[in-house]
Structure 1
Amino acid sequence: MRGRVADAVLPPSSVRWLGAVAGLAALVVVVIGVVYSGHSEPGRVDRWFVEPTADSVGPPWRGVALTVDFLGEPVGAAILVMAVVAGCLLLRWPRGAVFVVAGAAVAVGTATLLKSVVGRTIHGDGNLSYPSGHTAFLTAVALVVALLATGRLGLGRTAGASLVPACALVAGAAMGWAQVALGAHYPTDVLGGWCTAVAVVPATAWVVDRIADRTADRIADRSADRAADSGRRELR
């Protein structure tokens, strides 16, 4: 049991409050999606922040925005995920490596599916915008890293409840700013992307732990059966 707790990607101390936050985030995703379903213009809330119809940032901040945006592009995202996976493998934590890939993939996959369902567009030409996949991705990676650090370092409930949201907020805010500044998304798209990651990453962690635990049980049972068979043969 101690081995399982040490290997778990979802820290036991974070299960309850993360579940509550994930449920609230999922509700926000649904509400915003319903409100802006089929829209092709910024809403009133979006206009409070910026007129998101074209790039709204110039040098030198445009370069910063493009750099952050690159982390959500296929090449940048692959490099980022591979780096975190490599760290997990160096720590001999394959379950953590699986969680990194699964968490990012589920977040992006969910955001992509929701875009087709909601049908909100920006700049015309069928550019689906809700929720922001870039924001969902970077937030998911930050959440994964924070959860892994919380469990690996044995941080308590208070420390974990501070580290995990802080990482998610910083990553989401950075990518969200870049997406709005570059005119790629409305502010509400960014919020939807952030909430998408917050909703699905904890659930993904739970599934990874359940599958890994069951696999470990099966391997242990098979080893026990083989040991028993070997003992019987020796008695014969």
Structure 2
Amino acid sequence: MRQLVRTAPPALPAGLRAPLAMTAALATAVLVALGILHFRDSSLTGIDAALLPAVYPVQAPWRYVALVVDFGGEPVGSVILIALLSGVCWLLHRVRAAVLTVVGVVVTVAVTTVLKPVVGRMIHGEFLSYPSGHTALATALALVIALVLAERLGLGRAAGVVLALGLALVAGLVMGWAEVALGAHYPTDALGGFCAALAAVPATAWALDRVADRL
């Protein structure tokens, strides 16, 4: 098993390390800035005031679409998605990516879970909302998929970055829309979750490669 992990393709392709590190730094700054901006403040202002009325509440049939998307971030749905992606990575002999699927998501969701009570932003007067764990999870899974595809297809730095950020953005927008449409989060909560994944997944992938290379 040790040899299998050591010789497996990297979780974070070498060409993407520098650009994704810069992206992670920027995402961390945005995540922290939004947390400070909304610290103990649940008022509807700025971007949230502009976007929320246009999205929430969502009516049928789009409400059903939002519920299906939201299920992917619930405990049962997320376990299914993580298991499927990890299993595919394993079958493709991307062992490090299979591990990253689990560990990267755990780290990302842990970041959002810790930040929620720290920031203390509430929605509907009783639910901690910043940052969105659902959006973070969806973005994290999309990033893992993008990293696997970039490595497997042998994409260069520019194409790999476009793929990674493009898939992450699509996943973040879809899940973020669902969460706002269902009234579970403010738009900036979704942005915070998106940034949490952009910060956590590349860092976790880099750390995983470092550990695996030393086995």
The bucket for the TM-score relative to the shorter chain is over 0.9
CA distance in 2, matches of 1:73, 1:131: 15
Contact 1:132/1:185, CA 8 A, preserved across alignment: yes
CA distance in 2, matches of 1:20, 1:96: 21
C-alpha distance in 1 between matches for 2:98 and 2:161: 22
- Residue 132 of structure 2 aligns with an amino acid whose one-letter code is S
Give the SS at the match of 1:39: coil
Q: What TM-score comes out, normalization by structure 1 length?
A: 0.86
Deviation of residue 55 (structure 1)?
A: 4.8
Q: Please identify, of 54-63 and 151-160, the stretch whose mean Cα deviation from structure 2 is larger.
A: 54-63
Pairing 1:47–2:66 present: no
- The separation in 2 between residues aligned to 1:212 and 1:6, in whole angstroms, is 9
Amino acid at match of 2:141: V
Identity of aligned residues (%): 53
What does 1:162-201 align with in structure 2 at a 5 Å threshold? 162-201=162-201
Give yes or no for contact 1:95–1:208 (8 Å, CA) kept in 2.
yes
| Distance apart, 1:68 and its partner CA | 0.4
**How far did 1:6 drift?**
6.1
Q: Is the 8 A contact 2:82 2:102 kept in 1?
A: yes
Rounded Cα–Cα distance in structure 2 between residues aligned with 1:8 and 1:136 = 23
**Unaligned regions of 5+ residues in structure 1, if any?**
216-236
Counterpart Cα distance in 2 of 1:12 and 1:4: 15
Q: Separation in 2 of the partners of 1:32 and 1:158?
A: 29
Which structure has more RCO (C-alpha within 8 Å, separation ≥ 6)?
A: 2
Contact 1:6 1:151 in 2 (8 A): no
Deviation at 1:43, TM superposition (A): 2.2
Structure 1 residue 202: Cα displacement: 0.4
Distance in 2 (alpha carbons) for counterparts of 1:162 and 1:22: 15
TM-score normalised by structure 2 residue count:
0.94
Superposition deviation, residue 4 in structure 1: 6.6
- Equivalent position amino acid for 1:168 in 2: A
| Superposition pairs of residues 79-90 of structure 1, within 5 angstroms | 79-90=80-91
Counterpart CA distance in 1 for 2:31 and 2:7 is: 31
Does the 8 Å contact 1:6/1:152 carry over to 2?
A: no
The offset of 1:96, in angstroms, is: 1.5
Aligned to 2:204: 204
Question: How many residues end up aligned between the 2 structures?
Answer: 211
Partner residue, 2:129: 129
Structure with higher Rg: it is: 1
- Contact 2:8–2:96 at 8 Å: present in 1 too? no
The 8 Å contact of residues 8 and 94 in structure 2, kept in 1 or not, is answered as no
Q: Relative to structure 1, is the Cα distance of residues 173 and 5 closer, same or farther in structure 2, using a 3 angstrom cutoff?
A: farther
Question: Which position in structure 2 is the counterpart of 1:29?
Answer: 31
- Answer with 40-49 or 189-198: which moved more: 40-49
Which consecutive aligned stretches of 4+ in structure 1 deviate over 4 angstroms post-superposition?
Answer: 3-6
- Number of the residue aligned with 1:103: 104
User: CA offsets, 1:142-168, max 9 Å, x none?
Assistant: 001101111122111121021101100
CA distance in 2: counterparts of 1:201 and 1:5, whole angstroms: 21
Q: Which amino acid aligns with 2:17?
A: V
Cα deviation, residue 89, structure 1:
1.4
Distance apart, 1:50 and its partner CA: 1.8
Report the secondary structure of 1:51's partner residue. Answer: helix
Per the TM alignment, residue 41 of structure 1 is displaced from its structure 2 partner at its CA by: 2.3
> 5+ unaligned residues in a row in structure 2: which ranges?
none
Asked whether the equivalents of residues 37 and 119 of structure 1 are also in contact (C-alpha less than 8 Å), the reply is yes
Give the aligned partner of residue 62 of structure 2: 61
